Structure 1
Amino acid sequence: MSAETIPLDWAKARALVFEAGRSAAGPAEAVPLSGADGRTLAEPLVTLSDLPAFPTSSIDGWAVRGSGPWRPIGQVLAGNTAAPLTEDGTCVEIATGAMVPASADALIRIEASTRDAEGLVSGTARAEPEWRLPGDEARRGEQVLPAGTPIDPAVLGMAATCGYDTVPVRPQPRAALLVFGDELLTSGPPGNGRVRDSLSPLVPAWLRRSGATVDPAAVRGPVQDTLEAHIAAIRQGLAEADVVCTTGGTMHGPVDHLHPALAALGAEYIVNTVAVRPGFPMLLARVPGPDGRPRFLAGLPGNPQSAVIALVSLVAPLLAGLQGRELPTLAQVEVTAPVPGRGGFTHLALASLDAAGRATPASHVGSSMLRGLAAAHGFVVIQPDTRAQAGDVVLFLPLALLPGERP
Structure 2
Amino acid sequence: MSWDSARRVAHLIGRPQAAVSRVLAEAAGCVLASPLVSPGAVPPVDRSAMDGYAVSGAGPWRVIGHVRVNCAASVELTVGQACSITTGAAVPAGTTSVVRDEDVELDGDWVSGPGEAGRHIRRAGEECRAGEVVLPAGVVVDGPVLGLAASLGLNRLTVIPQPTVAVLITGDELVHQGPSAPGRVRDAIGPMLPHLITQAGAHLGPVLHLPDTRTALLEALDVARADLIFVSGSSAAGPADHLRPVLALLGAELIVDGVDCRPGHPQALARLGDGRLVIGLPGNPFAALSAFLTLGMAAIYRLRGLPLPALPVASIPGGVDCHPRSTRLVPVRVTEQGVVPVGHGGSAMLRGAAGADALAVVEPGPAEAIAARLLPLDPGARLWGG
Fold in common (TM above 0.5)? yes
Q: Which residue of 2 aligns with 1:377?
A: 357
CA distance in 1 between counterparts of 2:276 and 2:50 reads: 56
CA distance in 1 between counterparts of 2:246 and 2:203 reads: 25
Q: Deviations over 1:188-228 (max 9, x none)?
A: 3222223222212111221121122224xx22223333x33
Q: Which residue of 2 aligns with 1:48?
A: 39
Q: Which residue of 1 aligns with 2:138?
A: 148
Post-superposition offset of 1:69: 4.4
SS at match of 2:321: coil
Post-superposition offset of 1:387: 5.1
TM alignment of 1:219-368, pairs within 5 A: 219-225=207-213, 227-237=214-224, 240-289=225-274, 294-354=275-335, 356=336, 358-368=338-348
Q: Deviations over 1:75-98 (max 9, x none)?
A: 112232113526444332222222
TM alignment of 1:7-86, pairs within 5 A: 8-21=1-14, 24-66=15-57, 68-83=59-74, 85=76
Alignment check: 8 A CA contact 2:29 2:162 kept: no
Q: Which residue of 1 aligns with 2:156?
A: 166
Alignment check: 8 A CA contact 1:209 1:401 kept: yes
Alignment check: 8 A CA contact 1:180 1:224 kept: yes
CA distance in 1 between counterparts of 2:174 and 2:323 reads: 30
Question: Which segments of 5 or more consecutive residues in structure 1 lack a partner in the other structure?
Answer: 1-7
CA distance in 1 between counterparts of 2:244 and 2:25 reads: 43
Q: Deviations over 1:324-366 (max 9, x none)?
A: 1221231222324321111222111111223x37321122111
Q: Deviations over 1:83-135 (max 9, x none)?
A: 35264443322222221112323333444444445x23444412553312112
How well do the aligned residues superpose, as a CA RMSD in angstroms? 2.4
CA distance in 1 between counterparts of 2:124 and 2:68 reads: 18
CA distance in 2 between counterparts of 1:123 and 1:184 reads: 74
Partner letter of residue 30 of structure 1? S
Q: Give the TM-score of the pair, scaled to structure 2.
A: 0.90
Partner letter of residue 313 of structure 1? T
SS at match of 2:148: helix
What percentage of aligned pairs have identical amino acids?
Answer: 37
Q: Deviations over 1:129-178 (max 9, x none)?
A: 33121122221222222222222222222222222223222222111111
Question: Which segments of 5 or more consecutive residues in structure 2 lack a partner in the other structure?
Answer: none
Alignment check: 8 A CA contact 2:43 2:124 kept: yes
Alignment check: 8 A CA contact 1:70 1:120 kept: yes
Q: How many pairs were matched up?
A: 382
